């Protein structure tokens, strides 16, 4: 009985991790194709004199859209990636 519960727990944990990695991959490809993200826990808009930066937080990942005259583009990565303040960073 105890062994069965251990196996079920291991399978459940592996299933959750695989589903989470799959979600990150789906979100990445949707973000690169300019489609809306499926899971956005928090949105943040940073205003600068030359434009805006939009930051979207997901389940362990962050997507950043730069719409400034000095920086323009996208970034997608782990939750700790910093928002670029200038091009030299």
The pair of structure tokens assigned to 50 is 């030359």
The predicted pLDDT at position 87 comes to 65
> What value does the mean pLDDT take over residues 46-65?
92
Whether 66 and 85 have beta carbons less than 8 Å apart is answered as: no
> What value does the mean pLDDT take over residues 71-80?
91
* Residues in CB range of 40: below 8 A, 6 or more apart: 56, 57, 58
Model confidence pLDDT, tens digit, residues 7-53:
999 999 999 999 999 999 999 999 999 898 899 999 999 999 989 99
- What is the rounded distance in angstroms from the CA atom of residue 79 to the CA atom of residue 49? 26
CB atoms within 10 A of CB 40: 13
Whether 83 and 74 have beta carbons less than 8 Å apart is answered as: no
Q: Residue 88: which pLDDT band, with cuts at 50, 70 and 90?
A: low
Check residues 87 and 1 and name the one with the higher pLDDT: 1
- The residues spanned by each domain of the chain are 2-78
Q: Residue 84: which pLDDT band, with cuts at 50, 70 and 90?
A: confident
């Amino acid at each position: 009985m105890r062994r069965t519960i251990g196996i079920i727990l291991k399978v459940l944990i592996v299933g959750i991790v695989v589903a989470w990695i799959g979600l990150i991959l789906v979100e990445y490809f949707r973000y690169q194709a300019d489609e809306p993200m499926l899971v956005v826990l928090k949105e943040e808009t940073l205003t600068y004199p030359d434009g805006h930066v939009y930051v979207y937080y997901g389940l362990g990942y962050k997507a950043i859209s730069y719409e400034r005259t000095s920086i323009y583009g996208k970034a997608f990565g782990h939750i700790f990636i910093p928002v670029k303040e200038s091009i030299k960073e």
